Structure 1
Amino acid sequence: MRALAIAATGMNAQQTNLEVIANNIANINTTGYKRAKAEFSDLIYQTERAAGVPNVANQQTVPEGINIGLGVKTSAVRNLHTEGDLVATGNKYDVAIIGRGFFQVEAADGSTLYTRDGAFNTNENGEIVTINGARVVPNITVPVDTTEVTINRSGQVFARIGNATDLTELGQIQTANFVNEAGLKELGDNLFQETVASGAPVIGAPDDPAFGYIQQGYLEGSNVDPVKEITELISAQRAYEMNSKVITTADEMAATVSKNMR
């Protein structure tokens, strides 16, 4: 009975949907996290009667056919790169991007990765790094006797060294844009990697046209909406229950047929 197999695909799809929702809820307080959404598409159809063919030889064509769908499949799990709420921290090295763009960080193998998590600090050499120790690209080093650090909306980093009257420019934070942000590969640790689907990064300075600007002393929170996730969770649960009910009903119908054949 096809209904059993069809309903099983529906239960598998809703199981995936539930896992995606669970991950969103788990990351509700993760800095720079982008919520994911499972996308589904129907499976192939089994044609029992084709439309548009003659009903009998040389007679009128059939206006509608008989096509039975064979279920559903997960076609994608897409990240939604909308902005999260700003969270004030007061930390002089914390920065958030208002608008489009990603910070660039250096991976252990020397390649460049991308993140919206601007929770930065300095390492033992004074280099600005992420909370996991990855250096920000381009590399910016803060002198040991710095008494004040200022990062403006254009990403320029200034420092007051010792008791100097004037600020010294230490470097420029650059950000990257992508044609298809949803095509970036998630690596964990709030990091994304360029892929063929995302396209090559377009590098620029914050506050340039098409680039977001920098806000010092803030972090971008997760864009997960608790109310929306709970709604999606209830919807997934109901869909799972309905598919389960289809399996129970199909099994009961098969049992009735089997009983009558005895």
Structure 2
Amino acid sequence: MLRGLYTAASGMITQQRRHDTVTQNIANVNTPGYKQVESIERSFPEMLISLNNGDQGSSNRNIGRLNTGVLAEESISMNVQGDMRQTNSADDFALVSEINLADPATQQNIPFDASGKYVAEDGTVTYRPQAFFTATSKTGETGYTRDGNFQLNAAGQLLTSTGNQVLGATGNPITLRGSIDDYNFDSRGNITTKINGATVGRLGISVVNLPGQMTRAGDGLFRVTDPATAGVRQLQAGDNVEVRQGYLEGSTVDAAASMVDLTAALRAYEANQKIVQFYDKSLDKTVNDVGRV
């Protein structure tokens, strides 16, 4: 009987974490560059139940399999392209990242699905590389973001919307004199002056070959524990990546689907709660009534 309590309790904890994940998505539905988070659940290993006594003449003493619970294994970000929203603001930037990879066997472009991955016939999983603006966090760590809602402070430093310094292609913070309206930004992130067309720098755009290894660092930034393993590199000439000034990338959150997931998590939580209440009443009767006989 206690096994059922543990199973129901694990289900409640899992649905609560699922609820928190969906709530986070809904709260960031209007956040530029936000990537929807999906909660991945996994069941505990199943147990094979067999007869210990009784039915001695049976050749098959297996009763069946018993599932012992579920857990929220991880939360992963859906690193796919968001919709473009034109703002006509000179300090707004968006990345259009559609980097293609060739299949070594056919030399054709790999057909990635809507989640940005491709599963081959042999089970090999390939992820679509994604491009990010490079910034430095307040603790000095290098981070990556798709939120291009930049701004210039009084010192001429280009900052993200949360106050993190935007890095250039050389890895140093970008500093501009005067107003951002005095500069042009082309589709590859090159920065030139409007007065004489002199190049003064380039936006630091990093490509992450395995975006699934990125973790959220707060302030709209992602971080990578091991850049070599994740395949972090600078933008190359052959990468199909475009910088658009005067645009912002919208979040990838599907508001309608999130509301459905939120309701489903609530209903599943309530169902597990009812099971806990049922076992509680059964234990109460066992202790207080049956125990008196």
TM range (shorter): 0.7 to 0.9
Q: Distance in 1 between matches of 2:264 and 2:192?
A: 50
The question of 1:217 aligning with 2:281 is answered no
The code of the aligned residue for 1:22 comes to T
Q: Distance in 2 between matches of 1:144 and 1:26?
A: 35
The code of the aligned residue for 1:153 comes to S
Structure 1 counterpart of 2:232: 201
1:18/1:236 contact within 8 Å kept: yes
TM-score when normalising by structure 1: 0.83
Shift of 1:255: 4.8
The question of 1:229 aligning with 2:258 is answered yes
Which residue of 73, 76, 80 corresponds with 1:75?
73
Q: Once superposed, what is the RMSD of the aligned Cα atoms? A: 2.7
Q: Distance in 2 between matches of 1:17 and 1:110?
A: 32
Q: Distance in 2 between matches of 1:203 and 1:147?
A: 26
The question of 1:40 aligning with 2:47 is answered no
Return closer, same or farther for 1:145/1:33 CA change in 2, 3 Å cut-off: closer
Shift of 1:64: 5.1
The code of the aligned residue for 1:66 comes to G
Return closer, same or farther for 1:118/1:44 CA change in 2, 3 Å cut-off: same
Return closer, same or farther for 1:7/1:126 CA change in 2, 3 Å cut-off: same
1:141/1:170 contact within 8 Å kept: no
2:158/2:176 contact within 8 Å kept: yes
Q: Classify the secondary structure of the residue corresponding to 1:118.
A: coil
Which residue of 174, 184, 204 corresponds with 1:174?
204
Structure 1 counterpart of 2:178: 144
Q: Distance in 2 between matches of 1:147 and 1:98?
A: 22
- Which is worse superposed, 191-200 or 175-184? 191-200
Shift of 1:47: 3.7
Q: Distance in 2 between matches of 1:40 and 1:132?
A: 32
- Which is worse superposed, 130-139 or 15-24? 130-139
Q: What is the number of residues matched between the two proteins?
A: 250
Which residue of 147, 171, 183 corresponds with 1:117?
147
Q: Distance in 2 between matches of 1:238 and 1:38?
A: 16
Which residue of 190, 193, 199 corresponds with 1:156?
190
- Which is worse superposed, 69-78 or 178-187? 178-187
Return closer, same or farther for 1:67/1:146 CA change in 2, 3 Å cut-off: closer
CA distances 1:148-178 after superposition (whole Å, capped 9, x unpaired): 32211111112213xxxx4222212231122
- Which is worse superposed, 120-129 or 180-189? 120-129
Structure 2 counterpart of 1:17: 18
Return closer, same or farther for 1:191/1:239 CA change in 2, 3 Å cut-off: same
The code of the aligned residue for 2:93 comes to V
Q: Distance in 2 between matches of 1:127 and 1:256?
A: 70
Return closer, same or farther for 1:75/1:23 CA change in 2, 3 Å cut-off: same
Structure 1 unaligned residues grouped into runs of 5+: none
Q: Distance in 1 between matches of 2:140 and 2:223?
A: 13
TM-score when normalising by structure 2: 0.75
Q: Distance in 1 between matches of 2:189 and 2:159?
A: 15
CA distances 1:189-241 after superposition (whole Å, capped 9, x unpaired): 10111124961412115xx4344211110111211111011000111111112
Structure 2 unaligned residues grouped into runs of 5+: 98-129
Structure 2 counterpart of 1:190: 220
CA distances 1:25-57 after superposition (whole Å, capped 9, x unpaired): 11111121111111111113344329xxxx979
Q: Classify the secondary structure of the residue corresponding to 1:101.
A: strand
Return closer, same or farther for 1:90/1:111 CA change in 2, 3 Å cut-off: same
Structure 1 counterpart of 2:136: 106
Q: Distance in 2 between matches of 1:25 and 1:221?
A: 13
Return closer, same or farther for 1:103/1:251 CA change in 2, 3 Å cut-off: same
The code of the aligned residue for 1:227 comes to A
